Amino acid sequence: MKIQGAVALITGAAEGLGKAFSEELLKRSARGVSIVDYNSAKGKATEDELNKKYGEDKVRFFQCDVTSKDQLEDAFSKTLEHYKGIDIVCNNAGIGDEINWERTVDVDLVAVMRGTFLARQMMDKKNGGRGGIVINIASMAGMLPMPLAPAYTAAKHGVLGFTRAIAIGDRVFNPKNVRINCLCPSFSETAILEGMRELIKHPVAKAIYGSELETIPVSMVAEGFIQLVEDDSKHGEVMRCTPQNGIDYKKYRDWVPSKL
């Protein structure tokens, strides 16, 4: 899709990947970006920084706990009201807390599903929307088990499976209405990685990842994100970003229902 003039809503966008996604959209003349984040101080700082750099009212910050149905719906509604439409939704907010594992599943999976359903409601052309694209951020932990982080692994597997399933079976999600894709980055230098440093130092993790963890730059993930937004042929795809292969797509066996 054409980014110029588009409106985006991105969760977990006060810093890290979400902030990088926002800035890449603004560089390409997006009409506006709603930054939805729990951290009010960082969110307001990012709003001020990007508005100063790209123009007044380009960015709106909404403080939101994505696990709250009411707060997330309010962020969507206020974005729609202010910018008169939503074209791009990125469910990016994530944590990696294995102690409070229920919170990890709520943020990393349940909120992604809720954000997807809100996007479907507000972007569906048959419901008065403009169509567009939803990008759900999973992880390479959504393809391979991440030792010592079973809750995070389960949540990210869920995001990948949910995205692929809804791309196939839902009437709204199709290339002519609202496309949907999944982005699975490897480890990158973000706050979530910093929070997992102690787990990665564990002997079991070292045996798998090596003594020096190889990461990818945030810029690579942002590049992949922009590719998914701009390429209208991509629907139901799973993009990977890894140190070994850069940006590529996971190939799955074609699935065609015997009875439709």
With vertex at residue 109, the alpha carbon angle to CA 151 and CA 147, rounded to the nearest 5 degrees, is 25
Q: Which 8-state DSSP code applies to residue 188?
A: B
Reported as half-sphere exposure (CB side, CA atoms, 13 A), residue 165 has a value of: 8
Residue 257, amino acid:
P
Could you say which of 54, 152, 249, 252 is catalytic? 152
Q: Using a cut of 0.85, tell me whether the model's pTM lies above it.
A: yes
Q: What is the DSSP string of 116-131?
A: HHHHHHHH-GGGT---
Q: Locate the domains of the chain by residue range.
A: 7-187+216-244
Residue 150, amino acid:
P
Q: Which 8-state DSSP code applies to residue 175?
A: T
Residue 152 annotated among the catalytic residues of the structure: yes
CATH topology of domain 7-187+216-244: Rossmann fold (3.40.50)
Which of 59, 1, 49, 75 shows the shortest CA–CA distance to 26? 59
Show pLDDT as tens, one digit a residue, over the chain (260 residues): 999 999 999 999 999 999 999 999 999 999 999 999 999 999 999 999 999 999 999 999 999 999 999 999 999 999 999 999 999 999 999 999 999 999 999 999 999 999 999 999 999 999 999 999 999 999 999 999 888 899 999 999 999 999 999 999 999 999 999 999 999 999 887 666 665 656 555 565 555 555 566 889 999 999 999 999 999 999 999 999 999 999 999 999 876 555 44
Which of 25, 68, 18, 73 shows the shortest CA–CA distance to 43? 18
9-55 pLDDT, tens digit each: 999 999 999 999 999 999 999 999 999 999 999 999 999 999 999 99
